[in-house]
Amino acid sequence: MNSVDFDPETRSIVDGALDAAWRELEIRSFVRAEPEKAGIRRAIASRVIAAVRVGQRDPECLRRVALHVVEGCRITREGDRP
């Protein structure tokens, strides 16, 4: 998020949503290698930032946006569902 300029309140919302989503993904995901984790972090951050740019500010909606990225790629343990 280094190149993204948001006001402090929006930045806090984005950071909180990403942190909440990442905590959930750490529990559900089978991806353990750092390179894959870094790619997933970038992907979810990109989607959340895009949602914020079009006006979304609800932390729960942003968390779901982040989780949707991973679910769409099926990067969860077999049988796991949110």
Inter-helix orientation angle 8-28/59-72, to 10°:
40
Q: How high is the pLDDT of residue 4? A: 73
pLDDT at 76 over 60: no
How many degrees, rounded to 5, is the angle at CA 42 between CA 62 and CA 64? 20
In the predicted model, what is the mean pLDDT of residues 16-21? 94
Exposed / middle / buried, residue 1 (Cβ in 10 Å: 0-12, 13-18, 19+): middle
Give this prediction's pTM. 0.75
Digit-coded pLDDT (tens) for 19-75: 999 998 888 776 677 888 888 889 899 999 999 999 999 999 999 999 888 776 655
Q: Cβ contacts of residue 33 below 8 Å, gap of 6+?
A: none
Q: How high is the pLDDT of residue 75? A: 52
Higher per-residue pLDDT: 19 or 78: 19
